[in-house]
Each structure stands twice: as C-alpha cells, then as structure tokens.
C-alpha cells in the first residue's frame, strides 16, 4: 500500500496540469561560431625565452620542470619523446654532462604561439657524453630551440638544434680537419639580445614566400631561380663552416648537395615571418653518394640534414643567413 501511495504521489493526479520547465538558457549562435583566434603574447609567454635559457643553466636542469607541460613533446635528431619526464631526460642527455653551465639568450623571435630561442651555452665536460668519456675540457655550444607555448606560460613542444660533430670536435673527437677548424674559431658573442615580435604585416608573409620558394627551387634543381633568391652581398654563417660573404659559395653548396645526395628531398616543418626575418625549420633527405663536408664518403647510406635557417630579408632578397644544422645517418 505504501508503494502505491508513493507511486500516485510521484505521478500526480491525472486531471492536474503541470507547467513545463523554463527553457535552458543557451546561446546557440555562439556555439556555431568558430573559436576566437588567440591575440598576442600573454605576459607569461613573453618570459618563456629567458626562462628557458635560465633553466638550461640550472643545477640538474631542474628549472625545466615547471616550464614544460605534463604532456609536452621534444625532438632532437633521433631523440623524440613525449611527457614532461621524458622531455627532461632528453635535455639531460644533451646537456647534463656539462657542468658549470652558463647560458645566454642571444636572440629570440616570437609569434603568438611559438618562439625561436637562440642561445650560447658554455660549460665543462665532466661526465660521459655521446659515448665520449669525460675530458674535463671547456665547451661552447651554439644552438636554437623552437618552443610552442600556451597562454599560461608553459611549453607544449620543443625542437632543439645544435651540431653534435662540432661539439665532439671541441672535445678532440672526429676528423682532424674539423677539430683544427673548430679550434681556430673565435669565441661567439655572449651579449644578450632583444626579442623580435611578429607584427603580422603583409611583408612578413612575403618574406616567408621568398624562403619557401628558395627551398622549392633547391629541391627541384632550378639553380638559376635558387640563386636569384640571394642578394649579391649575401652573408651566410654556419656552425661547421663559419662565415662566407661569397655568393659563389652558395652555388657551390647547391651543386655539392645535389652531387653527393641522390633523390634529394626537402621537407618544411615550420616557417614564420617575423619583422624582417624569415625563419624556416626543415630537413633534407636522400641517399649519400659521396663525402659531404666533414662527413666521409659512404655510398647508399640514407642521410638526413635537420636544418634551421634564420634569414634576414632586404628588398625581397635573402641578405643574411644563420644556419643551424645537424646531419643524421638514418641507416647503413
């Protein structure tokens, strides 16, 4: 009987009418609209470049922990890992063997959600590194790190670039010619630089196109068009070959790469126009047919060059290039 009374109470009297509940307030128009694009750097993001280089110098790289998101990602050559702990491990592999680290932010280029951080690291080789026992020698490492940021001031993704062969040469390992060359280099500038911010002007897109077309012409063997992208007084600086102001050296580079790499293919990973600069991250893949710079000849070996070109554009031409690259042997 109690159950029947309860059921009747829940159902109510059939002769009574109950008003429908009020409509749920919803802005259906807003739901159908595309998400609002992010506008500008947040205060937290604007501090990331400096925070990153400070973290590289921190004891046991502990400063990186709060900087990276829990599900962040990192890439450097064969190293590719996801998750904050793994990201820290890769940094430890790359830099943990060098004690007394000091790191300077030399330059940075910033967009709303990504930054290119150029840095110089000095330290002493006190632990095994890349199968090289501790030499207790000083090292100077020049590199760049691409970071993709979040509004809250954390990093979701990082791509690191520096030359392992050059660092090995500093430690006395590698071809004698490269060891002697690296020993002759003047110390790099340790003067901190000022970040350059993207202003989204039409010229920035045009600068991107100049570099993108240059790479397309490079891959597709259009030498005249490739060379036309460069100013007559162009200056190119690389980690392993120093600085050149001769345009003919660029032509020689183009011809030697096509001669020594079969089935050459160029893949752009990311590119940005920032003020007068066009920055491109890409890799060149192919089959090694002969010696390439300091890399000894070995036929039929797959090889990859992972490259960052920071290009300064003047009057629609590439006037200066700072190149960070690292060759990777993919297979024997």
pLDDT of 19 reads: 53
Largest CA distance in the chain: 102
CA atoms of 146 and 159, how far apart (whole Å): 5
Q: What is the pLDDT of residues 53-109, one digit of tens each?
A: 999 999 999 999 999 999 999 999 889 999 999 999 999 999 999 999 999 999 999
Q: What is the mean pLDDT of residues 294-323?
A: 90
Helices (H), the chain: 2-11, 28-32, 43-46, 48-56, 84-95, 164-170, 176-184, 202-219, 223-228, 247-260
pLDDT above 90: percentage of residues in the chain: 73
Q: Are 195 and 110 in contact (CB under 8 A)?
A: yes
Q: How confident is the model at residue 245 (pLDDT cuts 50, 70, 90)?
A: confident
Phi, psi of 192 (to 5 degrees): -65, 145
- Look up tokens 């300091």; give the residue: 294
User: DSSP labels for 205-267?
Assistant: HHHHHHHHHHHHHHHTT-HHHHHHTEEEEEEEEETTTEEE--HHHHHHHHHHHHHHEEEEEEE
pLDDT of 243 reads: 86
Q: Are domains 43-197 and 202-329 of this chain identical in fold?
A: yes
pLDDT of 39 reads: 61
Domain locations in the chain as residue ranges: 43-197, 202-329
Q: Tell how strand 301-314 and strand 317-329 pair up.
A: antiparallel
Q: Are 304 and 188 in contact (CB under 8 A)?
A: no
Instruction: Give the residue, 209 or 191, on which the prediction is more confident.
Output: 209
Q: Are 239 and 292 in contact (CB under 8 A)?
A: no
Q: What is the pLDDT of residues 276-308, one digit of tens each?
A: 999 999 999 999 888 877 777 777 788 899 999
Position 232 pLDDT exceeds 90: yes
Q: What is the CATH number of domain 43-197?
A: 3.10.450.50
Token output for 33: 């609209």
3-class DSSP state of 297: coil
Position 36 pLDDT exceeds 50: no
Question: Which overall architecture, per CATH, does domain 202-329 show?
Answer: Roll (3.10)
CA atoms of 98 and 323, how far apart (whole Å): 24
* Mean pLDDT computed over every residue of the chain: 87
Instruction: Give the residue, 80 or 243, on which the prediction is more confident.
Output: 80
Q: What is the pLDDT of residues 164-179, one digit of tens each?
A: 999 999 999 999 989 9
pLDDT of 188 reads: 83
CA atoms of 271 and 216, how far apart (whole Å): 14
pLDDT of 41 reads: 86
């Amino acid at each position: 009987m109690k159950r029947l009374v309860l059921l009747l109470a829940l159902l109510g009297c059939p002769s009574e009418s109950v008003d429908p509940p009020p409509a749920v307030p919803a802005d259906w128009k807003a739901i159908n609209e595309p998400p609002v694009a992010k506008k500008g750097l947040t205060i937290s993001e604007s501090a990331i470049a400096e925070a990153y280089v400070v973290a590289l110098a921190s004891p046991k790289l502990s400063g990186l922990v709060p900087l990276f998101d829990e599900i962040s990602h990192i890439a450097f050559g064969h190293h590719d890992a996801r998750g904050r702990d793994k990201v820290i491990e890769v940094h430890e592999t790359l830099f943990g063997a060098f004690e007394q680290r000091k790191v300077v932010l030399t330059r940075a280029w910033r967009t709303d959600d990504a930054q290119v951080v150029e840095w110089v690291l000095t330290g002493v080789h006190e632990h095994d590194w890349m199968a090289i026992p501790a030499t207790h020698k000083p090292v100077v490492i020049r590199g760049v790190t691409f970071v993709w940021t979040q509004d809250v001031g954390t990093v979701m993704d990082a791509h690191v670039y520096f030359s392992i062969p050059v660092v090995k040469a500093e430690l006395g390992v590698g071809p004698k010619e490269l060891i002697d060359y690296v020993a002759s280099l003047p110390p790099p500038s340790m003067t901190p630089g000022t970040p350059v911010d993207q202003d989204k002007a039409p010229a920035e897109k045009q600068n991107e196109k100049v570099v993108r077309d240059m790479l397309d012409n490079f891959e597709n063997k259009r030498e005249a068009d490739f060379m036309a992208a460069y100013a007559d007084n162009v200056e190119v600086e690389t980690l392993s070959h120093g600085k050149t102001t001769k345009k003919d050296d660029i032509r020689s580079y183009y011809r030697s790469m096509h001669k020594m790499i079969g089935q050459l293919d160029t893949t752009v990973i990311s590119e940005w126009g920032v003020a007068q600069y066009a920055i491109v991250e890409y890799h060149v893949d192919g089959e090694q047919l002969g010696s390439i710079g300091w890399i000894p000849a070995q036929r039929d070996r797959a090889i990859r060059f992972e490259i960052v070109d920071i290009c300064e554009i003047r009057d629609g031409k590439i006037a200066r290039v700072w190149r960070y690259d690292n060759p990777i042997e993919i297979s024997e």
